[in-house]
Each structure stands twice: as C-alpha cells, then as structure tokens.
Structure 1
Amino acid sequence: MEGGISSSPTTRIAVVTGGNKGIGFEVCRQLAGNGVTVVLTARDEARGAAAVEKLRELGLSDVLFHQLDIADAPSIARLADFLKNCFGRLDILVNNAAIAGVELIDDPSFGPKPTVEKFSGMDDHKRVEWMSKNCRQIYDAAKQGLQTNYYGTKQVTEALLPLLLSSSDGRIVNVTSGFGLLRFFRSEELKQELNDVVRLTEERLHELLAAFLKDFEAGALEVSGWPTEFSAYKVAKAAMNAHSRVLARRHPALRVNCVDPGYVRTDMTRNSGLLTPEEGGAKVVAVALLPEGGPTGAFFDGVEEASFV
C-alpha cells in the first residue's frame, strides 16, 4: 500500500527500514510525532500496511508504507524510484532492519515466545546467557545474517545516497548494537584493521567478511580471533559500524552515525531485553534529530557518544 502525502519543502522526509514492529515501529511513531513525514518500510505488505493504519489511528497521518526487502535489489530499486518521484529527496534514513544470524530454538520451560515476566529478576548477563543457550550457530543462518545486516543495509544506503545528498541536511542513522563493538574480537589485527577507517576500504571489508564465513564453516572462529558467541551478528554490526565511518569520511556533507538502542524487548531478543521498544526507539530518534552540523562518523551508546572499541 502506498499512500499519497503532500509534504511541504520544509517538512523532513524519513525512511525507516523494518518499521512494522519493535524498535522500527517506535522510531516511525516518534519521528512522525516530531513532524517528520515517515515512509515505513517492511518486507510483508500486510504487516506494513497494518502498522501504518495503527499509527494513523494514533493521529499520525503523515506516515505511509512502502514494501522493502533490504536483501532484494529490485525491491530496493522500487523504493528509490518511489521516493524520487514523490519527494525528490530524502532527509533521514534509519537503517533498522536486521536479523539475529542464528537459528532460534525453543526453551520448553518458557514456550516458543517467552513473556516479559519470565525474565523477572534476571540481569542483562543472565538474559544474554539464556539467549545464547536458546539458539544455534549454523552456517546458513550466519551467511544470511551477513547478507541482511551488512550487505542489505549497505545496498539500501547506496541506492538512497543520491536522494540523501539532495537534502540540505541529509543524515543516515544505522541501528547497531553493543555486540558490534571491537572488544568482542580476539584478534588485535582484526580490531586494528576494522578501526583504521583512514585505510579501510569497502573491498577490504568484503574480503574480511568472506574470510569470516570461511572460518565459520571450517570451525576456526576462535583460532582466527573472531567473536565466538552470536558471531555473525557481532561481525556484521562491526562491519556496518566500520562502513558508516568510511561513508562519513567520503561524504562530509552528510551526518552518518551509529546508535545502540540498548537491550530491547523485541521478537529478535525473544522478549528477553531490559528496555521497551519505546525506550530503545527514543535513543534512535534522538540521534536522527540531532541539531544541524552535529557529529558524523560517531557511535552513540544511547544518546552519548562512545568508542567503537
């Protein structure tokens, strides 16, 4: 479903990937509440349209849906054409869509989708430990994790870059994770290479990701210095963080930043998170709406700038 919205030249236009639920839905709601015209995107048309209808019932009329699968090039191209024809520019891109990169399994004591109450009294470490015990790291899921979380995000960004550059204040907000910090890499060489954004190239990033998958398949993650738990998710987010910094250097007119919304209760975390989607979404929106001329190439731990390491 695509709705027709007439927006004035001064109204900011935002695209949010994975906007039909969880953090993405909250980002859409809060951006729209701040006077931004929001294009909510999702893979599933029915769920995306339902999310837009829910927002409109809340009185947020400047929201419309457009189908987007960030791992599908034709889908990305259709979105880019739609934005060009409707608005001629894009002011804010929030890259939120992501997958876990693991095969989830059900804990028989909790059921297929645990309730929030099941985690009462558990700190964040125990919750992450529960998540680790209730998933399997398999090659196909790891490969798909990289394809979606890094390559898919990168493809969307590249396709929409001309529209962002047409804005007077274009900005990209990549929703990352504390799991993407370089401290989870055992290899100092890998850490240094991913942190050296002056020398790092996209080609080298692709070589490193190919090496990761090769090591994953060979069972050599630990010996090669890669993260060993939630490895594909951590590597993809670290790569996305690095690419964000490369992009920020290449396009100084844009604001390109990464933000960790925290450990949020979503489908991906099986409701094990400590924060509500509203709380996590607020952190993303705060970075999306930073004053003009603010930082670029930065990592935000919530609303505070922090180290990528």
Structure 2
Amino acid sequence: MRKLLTLGLCCLLAASWWEHSPAMALRRVLVTGGNKGIGRALCQQLAADHGFYVFLGSRDAQRGKEAVESILLKSPECQDRLQFLPLDVASDTSVAKAAEMLREQYGAEALYGIVNNAGVGFQTSMAETLNINTYGPKRVCDHFLPLIDPQEGRIVNTASASGPNYNSAAASAERAMLTSPDVTWEELDACMQKAIQEPAGRQPYGFSKACLIAYTMILAREHPTLKINAMTPGYILTDITRGMGASKPPEEGTKAAIYCLTGELKGNGWYYGSDALRSPIDRYRAPGDPPYEGP
C-alpha cells in the first residue's frame, strides 16, 4: 500500500510539474530560419517581450545553438522560453523529423503558431529559390499544421514587397492566377514547375514571394478556423539585402510578424506591409500609406 501511495504521489508531482513547466504555461511558436537576422530578432522579442515559448529552427545545428546562446546572453529572462530545433525547410526528411520531435515531447497540440521565416535571396536559381521560399513553407505546414491548436492557432508566412511588385508586372494570365482568391495548389504548383523548366525572364525571388502569398490564400481557405496570413518585414539589413542599400537593423523587421501572431485580425489569407497594415498583392503599398481595403 505504501508503495502504491508513493507511486501515486510521484505521478501527481510529475503531472503538476508538466502542467506548470515553462513550455506548457506559455504559448509555443516555431520560427524557421531563426539563427540570424530577422528570425533571430523575432525569436528574442517573442520570448522576451510577448510571453511565448519559442522553438528556434535552424538547419545548421552549431549556428542554431549559437543563436540561442546569443539571445540568452542579451536577454537572460528567455532562459526557460527558448529551444533550438534542428530544421532544414528544404528537406522533407528534416521537417518530418522535427515535427515528430515536437509531437513526442508536447503532444497533439504542441504549437500555437508558426512563422515561416527561412528564405534565400537573389543569387540562387529558380529551382532552389522556390524549393526554400515557397515549397519550404508548404513542407513546414504539411508536417506541423496537425500540431497547431485548431481553434486559436496562427501561421505567418514571411513574404516580401517583391511579391506584389512581381505581380504588378507579370503577364496578365499569370497575374490573374497568382492574385485570385480562388487559386488552387494544383494551379500554383504547375506554374512553379513550368517556371523551373522555363524561367522565361522571371526574377526568382519576386516570383517565389508572389507564389508564397498565393499559397497563403490557399492555406487560409482550407483552414478557416486558423489565422493564416503573409507579411513583409520591410527593407531590412540582412544577408539577403546586404550591399543593396538597406540600413534598418533586424529588430525593426519584426512588427508585422508579431502583429500577425498577436493582433486582433479582421480577415484571413491577407498580406500585411511592414507597418502591419493590410496591403494589396498586385502592387506595392508604401509603409504609412492608407491600408488596402479591397476584397
């Protein structure tokens, strides 16, 4: 009997610890590409200032761990709110393994949200750019979306003003498809596969971000109980923009992502500017201009 009582007490204590451990008490968010730039700044701000438990995703384990260490050095209050997660968005195997790790550790509703931040810039091929910037977020959502709170969860896709800029100059048929609220994944995938085979003068980065915005609309339509939106961080000094005149630090590129995670959002499947105001997807809207109020 004494052994049974002791075992029961241990179980109760373990359950109490589990329920009140930091990762259980805080809303959990995954940030891909969190080891540098805007991703690292976002991880720090979410953990330090906004009450989240953050999984810092990085394909490079050493850089991921160093990013966690640098954040903790600057913000020691993040000690129990930050965890490195090995994750390469270009690899289905890596993404599947990372999702399984969270499922085993935290159960069916492991996450409140995802920020698909990982991306590449202007110096890569069409195939590689699409594989990371568009197919990458889809891989992450395919594997992690089942772990998101089905009623309260949010997904934020990091796009760019290059997406609307691309759409504004695209051929009419392609522009109509990329900006249609009824676009299907089959249509989008076929367009991307054609672009890989026949780039035909398309700028890979802008095209990939236009496709990511279109994918965001598809995903939001398929999961209406979630808040799923795209945004641009703005013209921020990162590895992508280095040498191109950008000067704002990464810490200034988190406003829209944080709003999409925490704000009172009126719509779904929308695209937000760096000032966290809704923007059109077929043309550029400058920060500070009136918000877009179209369909």
Say yes or no: TM over 0.5: yes
CA distance in 1, matches of 2:97, 2:22: 20
TM-score (normalised: structure 1)? 0.78
Counterpart in the other structure of 2:15: none
1:75 aligned onto 2:94: yes
1:277-292 alignment, distance < 5 Å = 277-291=250-264
Q: How far does residue 214 in structure 1 lie from its aligned partner after superposition?
A: 2.5
Counterpart in the other structure of 2:133: 149
Counterpart in the other structure of 2:159: 176
Counterpart in the other structure of 2:114: 93
1:59-70 alignment, distance < 5 Å = 59=76, 60-61=78-79, 62-70=81-89
- 1:95–1:175: 8 Å Cα contact kept in structure 2? yes
Find the residue that maps to 2:278 and give its secondary structure: strand
1:1-309 alignment, distance < 5 Å = 6-7=21-22, 9-33=24-48, 34-57=50-73, 58-59=75-76, 60-61=78-79, 62-88=81-107, 89-103=110-124, 141-164=125-148, 166-181=149-164, 182-198=166-182, 200-216=183-199, 220-221=200-201, 227=202, 231-270=203-242, 272-291=245-264, 294-302=266-274, 303-309=276-282
**For structure 1, which segment, 200-209 or 37-46, has the greater mean C-alpha deviation from structure 2 after superposition?**
200-209
Q: How far does residue 101 in structure 1 lie from its aligned partner after superposition?
A: 4.5
**For structure 1, which segment, 295-304 or 12-21, has the greater mean C-alpha deviation from structure 2 after superposition?**
295-304
Counterpart in the other structure of 2:6: none
Q: Which has the higher contact order (CA 8 A, sep 6+)?
A: 1
Q: How far does residue 188 in structure 1 lie from its aligned partner after superposition?
A: 1.1
Q: How far does residue 177 in structure 1 lie from its aligned partner after superposition?
A: 0.2
Q: How far does residue 196 in structure 1 lie from its aligned partner after superposition?
A: 1.5
Give the letter for the 1:11 counterpart.
L
- 1:101–1:144: 8 Å Cα contact kept in structure 2? no
Q: How far does residue 167 in structure 1 lie from its aligned partner after superposition?
A: 4.6
Extract unaligned runs of 5+ from structure 2: 1-17, 283-295
How many correspondences in the alignment? 255
- 1:76–1:159: 8 Å Cα contact kept in structure 2? yes
Extract unaligned runs of 5+ from structure 1: 104-140, 222-226
Find the residue that maps to 2:26 and give its secondary structure: coil
Query: Which has the greater radius of gyration?
Result: 2
Give the letter for the 1:71 counterpart.
A
Q: How far does residue 197 in structure 1 lie from its aligned partner after superposition?
A: 2.4
Identity of aligned residues (%): 33
CA distance in 2, matches of 1:81, 1:250: 23
- 1:101–1:146: 8 Å Cα contact kept in structure 2? no
Root-mean-square deviation over aligned CA pairs: 1.9
CA distance in 2, matches of 1:255, 1:189: 29
TM-score (normalised: structure 2)? 0.82
Find the residue that maps to 2:90 and give its secondary structure: coil
CA distance in 2, matches of 1:275, 1:157: 30
- 1:101–1:143: 8 Å Cα contact kept in structure 2? no
Give the letter for the 1:27 counterpart.
L
